[in-house]
Structure 1
Amino acid sequence: MKLSLIALAGVVALAALPAQAADPIKIALVHGTSGSTFEVFSKQTHTGFEMGLEYATGGTMEIDGRPIEIIKKDTQFKPDIARAALEEAFGDDDVLIAVGGTSSGVTKGLLPIAEEYEKILLVEPAVADSLTGPESNRYVFKTSRNSSMDMQAQALALAPDANLHVATLAEDYAFGRDGIEAFKSALDGSGATIVAEEYVPQGTTDFTAAAERMFAALKDKEGRKVIMIYVAGGGNPMGKIKDMQPERFGIEISTGGHILPVLPTYKAVPGMEGAIYYYYEIPQNPVNDWLVAEHQARFDGPPDFFTAGGMAAALAIVKAIETAETVDTEGLIAAMEGMTWDTPKGPMTFRPEDHQALQDMYHFKIKVDENVDWAIPELVRVIEAGEMDIPLGREN
Structure 2
Amino acid sequence: MTILSRFFGPLVLGVAVATGAHAADPIKIALVHGLSGSTFEAFSKQSETGFELGLEYATNGTNAINGHPIEIIHKDTQFKPDVGRAVLAEAYGDDDVLLAVGATSSGVTAAMLPVAEEYEKLLIVEPAVADSLTGPDSNRYIFKTSRNSSMDMQAQALALQPDENLYVATLAEDYAFGRDGIIAFKTALEGSGATVVGEEYVPQGTTDFTAATERMFNALKDQPGRKVILVYVAGGGDPMGKIQAMEPERYGIELSTTGNILSVLPTYKRVPGMEGAVYYYYESYDNPINDWLVKTHEERFGTPPDFFTAGGMSAALAVVKAIETAETLDTDGLIEAMEGMSWDTPKGEMKFRPEDHQAMQSMVHFKIRVDPDVDWAIPELVRIIEPGEMTIPVGRNNQE
TM-score range with shorter-chain normalisation?
Answer: over 0.9
Residue matched to 1:342: 344
Residue matched to 2:180: 178
Aligned partners of 2:179, 2:198: CA distance in 1, in Å?
Answer: 14
Deviation at 1:18, TM superposition (A): 3.8
Aligned partners of 1:138, 1:82: CA distance in 2, in Å?
Answer: 19
Residue matched to 1:77: 79
Which among 168, 171, 180 is matched to residue 169 of structure 1? 171
Deviation at 1:89, TM superposition (A): 0.3
Normalising by structure 1, we get a TM-score of 0.96
Q: Which amino acid in the other structure matches residue 336 of structure 2?
A: A
Q: Which amino acid in the other structure matches residue 174 of structure 1?
A: A
State the Cα deviation string for residues 96-133 of structure 1 (Å, max 9, x = none): 00000000011000000000000000000000000000
Aligned partners of 2:221, 2:163: CA distance in 1, in Å?
Answer: 18
Aligned partners of 1:17, 1:143: CA distance in 2, in Å?
Answer: 34
Aligned partners of 1:279, 1:212: CA distance in 2, in Å?
Answer: 32
Which among 266, 276, 280 is matched to residue 274 of structure 1? 276
Residue matched to 2:24: 22
Residue matched to 2:7: none
Q: Which amino acid in the other structure matches residue 340 of structure 1?
A: S
Residue matched to 2:312: 310
Residue matched to 2:100: 98
Residue matched to 2:14: none
Deviation at 1:261, TM superposition (A): 0.2
Aligned partners of 2:169, 2:307: CA distance in 1, in Å?
Answer: 26
State the Cα deviation string for residues 183-242 of structure 1 (Å, max 9, x = none): 000000000000000000000000000000000000000010000000000000000000
Q: Which residues of 2 match residues 281-296 of structure 1 at below 5 A? A: 281-296=283-298
Which among 139, 148, 151 is matched to residue 153 of structure 2? 151
Q: Which residues of 2 match residues 1-396 of structure 1 at below 5 A? A: 18-396=20-398
Q: Which amino acid in the other structure matches residue 20 of structure 1?
A: H
- Computing the radius of gyration over CA atoms, which structure comes out larger, 1 or 2? 1
Aligned partners of 1:74, 1:109: CA distance in 2, in Å?
Answer: 14
Aligned partners of 2:323, 2:213: CA distance in 1, in Å?
Answer: 49
**Structure 2 residues without counterparts, runs of 5 or longer:** 1-17
Deviation at 1:19, TM superposition (A): 3.5
Aligned partners of 1:175, 1:264: CA distance in 2, in Å?
Answer: 23
Deviation at 1:20, TM superposition (A): 2.6
> How many positions carry a matched residue from both structures?
381
Residue matched to 1:13: none
Deviation at 1:17, TM superposition (A): 9.6
Deviation at 1:22, TM superposition (A): 1.3
**Structure 1 residues without counterparts, runs of 5 or longer:** 1-15
- Superposition CA RMSD, Å: 0.9
Secondary structure at the residue paired with 1:59?
Answer: coil
Deviation at 1:294, TM superposition (A): 0.2
Aligned partners of 2:80, 2:67: CA distance in 1, in Å?
Answer: 37
Q: Which amino acid in the other structure matches residue 350 of structure 1?
A: F
Secondary structure at the residue paired with 1:19?
Answer: helix
Aligned partners of 1:17, 1:207: CA distance in 2, in Å?
Answer: 61
Q: Which amino acid in the other structure matches residue 244 of structure 1?
A: M
Residue matched to 1:11: none
Secondary structure at the residue paired with 2:335?
Answer: helix
Q: Which amino acid in the other structure matches residue 210 of structure 1?
A: A
Aligned partners of 1:363, 1:324: CA distance in 2, in Å?
Answer: 36
Q: Which amino acid in the other structure matches residue 391 of structure 1?
A: P
Secondary structure at the residue paired with 2:231?
Answer: strand
Aligned partners of 1:80, 1:363: CA distance in 2, in Å?
Answer: 37
Q: Which amino acid in the other structure matches residue 176 of structure 2?
A: A
Q: Which amino acid in the other structure matches residue 186 of structure 2?
A: K
Secondary structure at the residue paired with 1:378?
Answer: strand
Aligned partners of 1:177, 1:261: CA distance in 2, in Å?
Answer: 24
Deviation at 1:173, TM superposition (A): 0.2
Say if 1:225 and 1:113 are closer, same or farther in 2 by CA, change over 3 A.
Answer: same
Normalising by structure 2, we get a TM-score of 0.95
Aligned partners of 1:286, 1:18: CA distance in 2, in Å?
Answer: 36
Q: Which amino acid in the other structure matches residue 338 of structure 2?
A: M
**Structure 1 ranges of 4+ moved more than 6 A:** none
Secondary structure at the residue paired with 1:204?
Answer: coil
Aligned partners of 1:385, 1:240: CA distance in 2, in Å?
Answer: 33
Q: Which amino acid in the other structure matches residue 296 of structure 2?
A: E
Aligned partners of 2:246, 2:361: CA distance in 1, in Å?
Answer: 36
